[in-house]
């Protein structure tokens, strides 16, 4: 069963009013199709975005020299992508997001104020507003150690079979993730969750 926008909205308050909700796709379908979906959305951006070879950067965003941003990508106002950051596979940064040195995003959507500031990997995930990942925190997107394990998402008390080979996590607004935490494929974190350093957050089914 596909989750509703309202269910995803219990994790990310800005989701129901976003362009993503209008697509009416499950989170794992949004990440799997990120390159095509973000590429198509480029045509709907306003004049405050500079678009060059499939990468759109808002005039009030900063992409430092030495960052690698592969198309398609949309980097919103007040965002900062630092030297040494790597964005690929279709990435969308809403407003005031930070991707710091040594951090990699793959097929990921960041809502307002989300931060992956120091040596993070975030794969095939949705990060809510104000999420903060401390140094070395990882959002894994593939169960390499157990590839036969199903990726199951638990939303509103029900388990949903994603059928996805790769999917990271649905991380709610205001979540704080400590240094060197691993968030396993299929995890969901409720808004305001604090994950202590060196922890593991796994899917719950």
For 6-53, write each residue's pLDDT tens digit. Answer: 899 999 999 999 999 999 999 999 999 999 999 999 999 999 999 999
CB atoms within 10 A of CB 145: 8
Confidence of residue 5 (pLDDT cuts 50, 70, 90): confident
| Domain count across the chain | 1
Instruction: Report pLDDT for 74.
Output: 99
Q: Can you give the CATH number for the domain in which 142 is found?
A: 2.160.10.10
What are φ and ψ of residue 72, in 5° steps?
Answer: -85, 150
d(CA 55, CA 40): 12
Confidence of residue 131 (pLDDT cuts 50, 70, 90): very high
Place of tokens 């709610």: 172
pLDDT digits (tens, 9 = 90+) for 42-75: 999 999 999 999 999 999 999 999 999 999 999 9
Catalytic residue numbers? 118
And the tokens for 126? 């949705």
Confidence of residue 205 (pLDDT cuts 50, 70, 90): low
Residue 171, pLDDT above cutoff 70:
yes
d(CA 10, CA 175): 13
The parent domain of residue 126 ranges over 5-201
């Amino acid at each position: 069963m596909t989750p509703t926008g309202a269910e995803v909205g219990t994790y990310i308050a800005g989701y129901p009013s976003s362009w993503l909700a209008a697509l009416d796709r499950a989170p794992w379908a949004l990440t799997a199709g990120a390159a095509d979906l973000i590429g198509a959305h480029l045509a709907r951006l306003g004049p405050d975005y500079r678009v060059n070879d499939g990468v759109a950067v808002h005039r009030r965003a900063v992409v430092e020299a030495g960052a690698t941003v592969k198309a398609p990508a949309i980097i919103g106002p007040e965002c900062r992508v630092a030297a040494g950051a790597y964005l690929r596979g279709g990435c969308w940064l809403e407003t005031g997001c930070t991707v710091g040195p040594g951090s990699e995003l793959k097929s990921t959507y960041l809502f307002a104020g989300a931060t992956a500031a120091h040596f993070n990997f975030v794969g095939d995930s949705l990060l809510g507003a104000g999420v903060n990942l401390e140094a070395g925190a990882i959002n894994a997107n593939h169960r390499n150690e157990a590839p036969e394990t199903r990726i199951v998402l638990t939303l509103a008390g029900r388990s949903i079979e994603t059928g996805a080979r790769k999917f990271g996590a649905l991380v709610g607004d205001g979540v704080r993730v400590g240094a060197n935490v691993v968030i396993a494929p299929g995890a969901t974190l409720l808004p305001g969750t604090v994950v202590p350093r060196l922890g593991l957050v796994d899917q719950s089914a």
